[in-house]
Amino acid sequence: MNKKQPVYLKLFETISHAILDGKYKDGDLLPSVRAFASTQGANPLTVAKAYQLFQDRGLVTVKRGVGLFVANGAVQKLRNAERQNFIDNSWPEISKHMHRIGIELSDLIEQEG
Amino acid sequence: MNKKQPVYLKLFETISHAILDGKYKDGDLLPSVRAFASTQGANPLTVAKAYQLFQDRGLVTVKRGVGLFVANGAVQKLRNAERQNFIDNSWPEISKHMHRIGIELSDLIEQEG
DNA sequence: TGCACTGTATTATGGCACTGATGCACTATG
DNA sequence: CATAGTGCATCAGTGCCATAATACAGTGCA
């Protein structure tokens, strides 16, 4: 239903996925605000807004004048947070919706192959 | 991540659920714009906007000056559309996300009891 | 020291979606 | 015809988002 997402949230997801997929590990230097903005075709301030979300969660360490680094233990921390959020928030509603429209978990398993 | 939903989409969901749950069947008269707005604490125009979505999908029949009626076969049509949308759009992304954060379907089955 | 690179703060602007108030067109009823 | 109930179109206000132009502060290196 709702597919439209603000750019800064899309960027946040892009970076999150990169971290979860192992592209950036603990201590790694993230792309600079301006560089990442350039590759993504976005505004530097929008990228900064996305990075700000990581700072708010303590997932990156800022070295002013140098760049942003993936904080110690951030990869695991991010994965745990995502898992907890999925279990607590996303899944219950998904499960409800599935039940309402008559789709069971067993109907989905076969597609995993 | 994104929990905020416009009021008119919430109303759309509320009505959809009522129809899927059998509260309104084919041919039934839906609550009037003003009446539903009153019970939901919303603006009549916002309700009208939600109802508009049903018209766009051909799920309701408008009798100007009388009210909106659930169209013929709309219940089944709505259920099928929701199922198809879930299978084609929602589930693939959910599945991807689950795989990314390391949650398998089998991890969720036991909570269904 | 000078330079080029980092992130950040400020202010302003335009666009867009959502919401709200009013009034109009239509219909059933008496 | 009169009335009260429908849905609906038009206009305006609000807030979030994205972008922009600058300026500032910190760092690494020649």
pLDDT recorded at residue B72:
92
Are A30 and A65 contained in the same domain?
A: yes
Q: What percent of chain A has pLDDT over 90?
A: 76
Do A11 and A43 share a domain, yes or no?
A: yes
pLDDT at A94 over 90: yes
Structure tokens at B1: 């991540």
Res. A19: pLDDT tops 90: yes
> Is A2 among the domain residues?
no
Tens of pLDDT, residues A25-70: 999 999 999 999 998 889 999 999 999 999 989 999 999 889 999 9
Q: Which nucleotides of strand D lie within 7 A of protein CB? A: 4-10, 16-21, 25-28
Angle between helices A7-20 and B91-101 (to 10 degrees): 50
Query: What confidence score (pLDDT) does residue A59 get?
Result: 94
Considering CB atoms only, which of A17, A91, A95 is closest to B100?
A: A17
Residue B60 lies in a domain: yes
The verdict on A96 and A44 lying in the same domain is no
Same domain, A61 and A21: yes
pLDDT digits (tens, 9 = 90+) for B2-54: 446 888 999 999 999 999 999 999 999 999 998 999 888 889 999 999 999 99
When the pLDDT of each residue in chain B is averaged and rounded to a whole number, the result is: 88
Domain count, chain B: 1
Question: Do A43 and A79 share a domain, yes or no?
Answer: no
Q: What's the pLDDT score for residue A2?
A: 44
**Cross-strand bridge partners of residue A89:** none
Compute the distance between CA of residue B27 and CA of residue A72 in angstroms, rounded to an integer. Answer: 61
Instruction: Answer yes or no: do A99 and A58 share one domain.
Output: no
Q: How many CA atoms lie within 13 A of B37 on its CB side?
A: 14
- A102, B4, B53, B32: CA torsion to nearest 10: 100
Which is more confidently placed, B16 or A5?
Answer: B16
Q: Residue B4: closest CA among chain A residues belongs to which residue?
A: A2
User: CATH code at B9?
Assistant: 1.10.10.10
A111 pLDDT tier (thresholds 50, 70, 90): low
Q: Is residue B65 part of a domain?
A: yes
Asked whether the beta carbons of A77 and B96 are under 8 A apart, the reply is no
CB < 8 Å to B7, chain A: none
Q: Assess whether A16 and A46 both reside in one domain.
A: yes
Q: Domain range for residue A14?
A: 7-72
Structure tokens at B96: 């991807």
CB of B22 within 8 Å of a chain A CB? The answer is no
Note whether residue A98 is domain-resident: yes
B109 pLDDT more than 80: no
Q: What is the residue-averaged pLDDT of chain A?
A: 89
Nearest CA in chain B to A83: B101
Are residues A53 and A15 located together in one domain of the fold? Answer: yes
Closest chain B residue to A80 measured between Cα atoms?
B101
Q: Which residue of A4, A9, A101 to mutate against B (max B Cβ within 10 Å)?
A: A101
Token representation of residue A46 = 């929008």
Q: How much is the pLDDT for B113?
A: 40
Whether the CB of B6 is less than 7 Å away from nucleic strand C comes out as: yes
Q: Does A67 share its domain with A16?
A: yes
Assigned domain for A54 exists: yes
Q: A55 and A82 share a domain?
A: no
Q: Mark whether A47 and A82 lie in a shared domain.
A: no
Q: Which of A8, A22, A47 lies closest to B2, judged by CA?
A: A8
In the block, which residue shows the tokens 């899927």?
B20
Complex-level ipTM: 0.78
Q: Is residue B113 part of a domain?
A: no
